[in-house]
Amino acid sequence: MGMSGRDKFIAYLERFYSRLPDSPKRGFRLKVLITSRPYDRIERGFSKLTKIIPTIRLAGEEESDKISHEIGLAIEAMVKDIAEKRGLQEEQRSVLQRRLGEIPNRTYLWLYLTLNEVEKGLGKTLKKLLKIIDTLPATVEEAYEKILVRGV
């Protein structure tokens, strides 16, 4: 099995920095900003690199619950808007909102892409809505994949 893009990137950075003589490392001006969710596997991937070069880690775990709550509020508002525009019944709106809220690790980008797909495929019947809900993408990658597959 091949390396993921993230793993390749980390390996390139490790190789690059390990080849520098010790003295220039301190004054080297290349700075890299990496953002991600605080998953252990990601942090472990960077463990060797953080021993080679100076590193600053800004933890955002405390903000995760706040962001999740805000995305929940956005789901509520956006689903309400879609329901009003498309004339969805209360049951349909409620089912859609509940299902979107059940997806773990939601992001604003995921929400935007997912609701865009929902609106495009939305029919008037509960059966059609349930079909769409059953195939909601759980990640940004899945949302992009659905868009790409549909576009082909």
Candidates 84, 81, 95; CA nearest to 73 is 81
Render pLDDT for 39-87 as a digit per residue (tens, 0 to 9). 677 778 888 877 777 776 656 666 777 888 899 999 999 999 999 988 8
- Would you state the structure tokens that stand for residue 33, as one six-digit string? 């900003």
Q: Is there a contact between 100 and 111 (Cβ–Cβ < 8 Å)?
A: yes
Residue 81: the pLDDT is: 93
Q: What phi and psi, each to the nearest 5 degrees, are found at residue 30? A: -75, 120
Report in angstroms the alpha-carbon separations of 127 from 34, 50, 124, 133, 148.
Answer: 43, 52, 9, 10, 25
Residue 38: the pLDDT is: 60
Residue 75: the pLDDT is: 95
d(CA 130, CA 96): 8
pLDDT over threshold 60, residue 24: no
Residue 28: the pLDDT is: 61
**What predicted TM-score, i.e. pTM, was given to this entire model?**
0.59
pLDDT over threshold 70, residue 134: yes
66 vs 152, higher pLDDT: 66
Domain boundaries, the chain: 5-52, 63-151
Q: What is the pLDDT confidence band of residue 120, given thresholds at 50, 70 and 90?
A: confident
Q: Is there a contact between 143 and 114 (Cβ–Cβ < 8 Å)?
A: yes
Q: What is the pLDDT confidence band of residue 11, given thresholds at 50, 70 and 90?
A: confident
